[in-house]
Amino acid sequence: EAGVAQSPRYKIIEKRQSVAFWCNPISGHATLYWYQQILGQGPKLLIQFQNNGVVDDSQLPKDRFSAERLKGVDSTLKIQPAKLEDSAVYLCASSLGRPGNEQFFGPGTRLTVL
Amino acid sequence: AQRVTQPEKLLSVFKGAPVELKCNYSYSGSPELFWYVQYSRQRLQLLLRHISRESIKGFTADLNKGETSFHLKKPFAQEEDSAMYYCAPPPSGGYQKVTFGTGTKLQVIP
């Protein structure tokens, strides 16, 4: 089966600019996750969707980050405006949707903010 | 918040030696924990979960509630085990502030 797809794979922007990341989960997976992984740290969950509803965005900096999952399939994560500390790998993952289900990860998008 | 800690950033062992990657957790309730692995130039993927009590690629992990630990073990390390290993709580909905452990790089020396 096809895995989780993400684009772009790499992005370089200047601070205060905006950026958007796209994720296409595995077909049939109800739950979609966005993680931020800063160099040297483990992935931190930013937001979790169940179908097109948000179930956890407790660690999403809502003043600059936003995410949506229209129609309960693809998702976009946006940063506006970006700061230097947003430099990280942004990982998308999906799962079938029951608590504790295995997450399948995409390749990630490496963001560099100059 | 569910917290996990991995005290070792790097663990180097010789091929054939036993391996133990440490993970400690600190949250209330009945914990569910996972080990994820990332091989060089590959995606993060599930290695094993404590609920299934399975052995994957020779690795096992036992949940020790008394010590609040979920250490990953393998009796004989192989070169292909070299990778980053992350201990993680599951995001199961609700405001849980989920963060993976910082990861341990396992280096198996031939």
Question: pLDDT per residue over A85-114, tens digit each?
Answer: 999 999 999 998 776 788 999 999 999 999
Q: Could you give the CA distance from residue B74 to residue A1 in angstroms, rounded to a whole number?
A: 30
Please give the pLDDT value at position A99. 67
In this prediction, residues B31-60 reach a mean pLDDT of: 87
- Higher-pLDDT residue of A62 and A52 is A62
- Higher-pLDDT residue of B84 and A70 is B84
Q: Is A87 exposed, middle or buried (0-12, 13-18, 19+ CB in 10 A)?
A: middle
Asked if B85 and B35 count as a contact pair (C-beta separation under 8 A), the reply is: yes
- Residue A41: DSSP 8-state: S
Q: Judge whether B97 is closer than 8 Å to chain A, CB to CB.
A: yes
Question: Could B44 and A91 be called an inter-chain contact, meaning their C-beta atoms sit closer than 8 Å?
Answer: yes
- Residue B64: DSSP 8-state: B
Instruction: Single out the residue of A30, A40, A9, A16 nearest to residue A104, CA to CA.
Output: A30
Residue A17 has pLDDT above 90, yes or no: yes
To the nearest whole number, what is the mean pLDDT of chain A?
A: 93
| Closest by Cβ to B99, choosing from A33, A44, A100 | A44
A55 CB neighbours in chain B (<8 A) are 93-94
Question: Which residue in A9, A35, A46, A110 has the most chain B C-beta atoms within 10 A of its own C-beta, making it the best mutation to test that interface?
Answer: A35
pLDDT in tens, A30-45: 999 999 999 989 999 9
Confidence of residue A60 (pLDDT cuts 50, 70, 90): very high
pLDDT in tens, B49-107: 877 777 889 999 988 888 888 999 999 999 999 999 999 987 766 666 778 899 999 99
Structure tokens that stand for B56 in this block: 């994957």
